[in-house]
Amino acid sequence: MEIPLYLAMTAAEFTFCPSLPERIAWMACHFSPYGTGLSGIPDALPPESIVIVNDRIPVCGHDPSVISSQLQTILESQQVCGILLDFQRPDCPQAAEIAAAVTKNCSCPVAVSELYAVDLPCAVFLSPVPANKRPTEHFEPWSGREIWLEAALEGVCIHLDFHGSAFSPMDYPCADPLSLFDPHLHSHYRMDISEDSADFYIQRTKDDLTALLQDAKAYNVTKAIGLYQELRP
């Protein structure tokens, strides 16, 4: 069985999409800047969708019981199959309290970003596997835990010279062909080597990402979530 891939959509993408993808993750839900509770709550998602709550608006004064109650109402009324707390602001006690409350009180699978998932009995949401990193190294620290993985077409340029190394992100697709393939990384790459430096261009294609997700099942990855604008058919 393949790992299900959910495509994360903004409210605008969801509203104006002529043909919705098979699996949807609603990514418009965030903390209200004007009061207590969530904003961007969906009106009517297809059954078996995922609701993502992000912290782009900082968690300030929000009651964990109110947040978990709102999410429970959404999943009961819209047959949501999972909740993802994509909290990326570190060292926020209120975010930790909300994550604990949602994990305890919501009656569906919950995943929490790795910043706050350590002590919670839920799935952990991991960032994409870097294109220059073996998947096993990425998953190993969370051995024994259920993992929801962010799926992305990762790319990196590594510059090496006598002064050391420098890493920079790459846009997809790469302007020049990447003709070499590393099956352990599930990445294509190219090397440009001169007398005093070397540049490595490493990137995953959609086919590479599909193969990576196949292997990820062995590490207890049960769901993948990627951006609709990047991974749409």
Q: What is the pLDDT of residues 181-217, one digit of tens each?
A: 999 999 999 999 999 999 999 999 999 999 999 999 9
Same domain, 124 and 220: yes
pLDDT digits (tens, 9 = 90+) for 99-109: 999 999 999 99
Same domain, 188 and 86: no
In which domain, by residue range, is 143 found? 5-153+205-231
Same domain, 88 and 187: no
Task: Determine the pLDDT at residue 232.
Answer: 92
Q: Are 169 and 203 in contact (CB under 8 A)?
A: no
Q: How many domains, in total, are found in the chain?
A: 2
Same domain, 123 and 107: yes
39-60 burial: b if 16+ Cβ within 10 Å, else e: ebbbeebeeebbbbbbbeeebe
Same domain, 176 and 121: no
* Span 123-144, average pLDDT: 97
Same domain, 210 and 159: no
| Stated pTM of the model | 0.94
126 in helix, strand or coil? strand
